[in-house]
Structure 1
């Protein structure tokens, strides 16, 4: 396949993926298959996807930070533990079968959807209750969220950003907008660490990844702007879309295998 054909396939899907990722996480469920559709090998598809998503995430993270929709201490603690957890998860993936995790996901994903639907009934869906949590407990929860979801990210991966948003709202009492901002900081840290590895390995097809990165910037910029402006009433439906997409992928993968 010629490069211009690869660009025409990848760019629109990367834009859509980045828009979704900026709002609710889970954009990789769309962007990684887009790179596969261009005919890239698995290593180059993964590396190119990480390049474009990382560049786009920088812009959405910056927009959330500029708007003040984040809690830096929580985000940094979660990011630090997520990096360690991701390494541990990747090591576990080398020795354990992911079949049991896939089965668990078929149970956990509907439960996550229920959590989102129940939060719709709360009048305070756009109001953070984080300040009522004692500092030590908040930092311990931040570390636990980062570690556990870091392990998940390293072991399995899809939907990590979505689960981070759910965890930040359910366990730390953040509103959806602030939870998104925190998640972007954590995602950026993990993306940069992974991107360095792919750059060093030379598994990025820049002729496609660079144009796709431009589309990723646009998607992240527009998506983060809408998330900041509209808050929970916009973020929740997109999160439901991601959970349905992830449930479908897990179920399909199990059926195929």
Structure 2
């Protein structure tokens, strides 16, 4: 693909991914396959994508904070637990072979789609926050392993967090979203360090993707929070299915 066209493609893809990652999840299911299909080896595409994730989540955190939405210091505790796991996951991602990584990503994309399609609507208005004691310790344990997964591939992790936080800790969907982006921001710092030390980041493409993703995150953090928006779900199903099939046979 011509270099200039890569720039033109990455900005709108980044915007959509930043928006999706902020209001629900799944943005990596678009950006990572796009980078791979552009010709980047899997570890390089994975590392390049992390710069955009780091900036977009920071932007989203600021956006939620400007609306007075925060679960700090609870979100920090979870973030630090996930940060430890992210070093492990990122190292695994660098060592894995590209073809196997593509197959794993394709399977994860399909599994996330199933979660999107069959996760029923829940009532988030009749819940009580539980951010200390046993619920906190349970979440710290869970988020350590989520950090490993996030460091490894990150794809679809937002949906997992939006399933866990309301039921284990009683957070509203809005606070769950704000907590999610904060946690991802913290553990992505660890992943970026690992990928950078291994020289697995294309900074030119990363900054281009970041322009779009940060804008999408800023917009998404101010959007009405809807977990199962029909338009977003339909877009994800069509796009992610196509990319998963392409990756499997790539």
TM norm structure 1: 0.76
> What is the distance in 1 between the residues matched to 2:110 and 2:39?
30
Aligned to 1:176: 173
Does 2:150 match 1:158? no
> What is the distance in 1 between the residues matched to 2:149 and 2:175?
22
Q: Helix, strand or coil for the counterpart of 1:235?
A: coil
1:91 and 1:250, CA in 2 relative to 1: closer, same or farther beyond 3 A?
farther
Which of residues 223, 227, 240 in structure 2 aligns to 1:235?
227
1:214 and 1:129, CA in 2 relative to 1: closer, same or farther beyond 3 A?
same
Offset of residue 74 of structure 1: 2.0
TM norm structure 2: 0.78
Aligned to 2:193: 196
The CA deviation string for residues 147-174 of structure 1, in whole angstroms up to 9 with x for no partner, is 2322333455421122112111122111
Q: Helix, strand or coil for the counterpart of 1:170?
A: helix
| Contact 1:7–1:211 under 8 Å retained in 2 | yes
The CA deviation string for residues 79-110 of structure 1, in whole angstroms up to 9 with x for no partner, is 12212333455677879x9999x989977874
Q: Quick check: which one's helix share is greater? A: 1
Aligned to 2:64: 64
Question: Unaligned 5+ residue runs, structure 1?
Answer: none
| Contact 2:90–2:195 under 8 Å retained in 1 | no
The CA deviation string for residues 45-76 of structure 1, in whole angstroms up to 9 with x for no partner, is 22221112211221011111232322112211
> What is the distance in 1 between the residues matched to 2:62 and 2:179?
11
Higher mean C-alpha deviation, range 27-36 or range 205-214: 205-214
> What is the distance in 2 between the residues matched to 1:86 and 1:242?
29
Does 2:132 match 1:140? no
| Contact 2:22–2:60 under 8 Å retained in 1 | yes
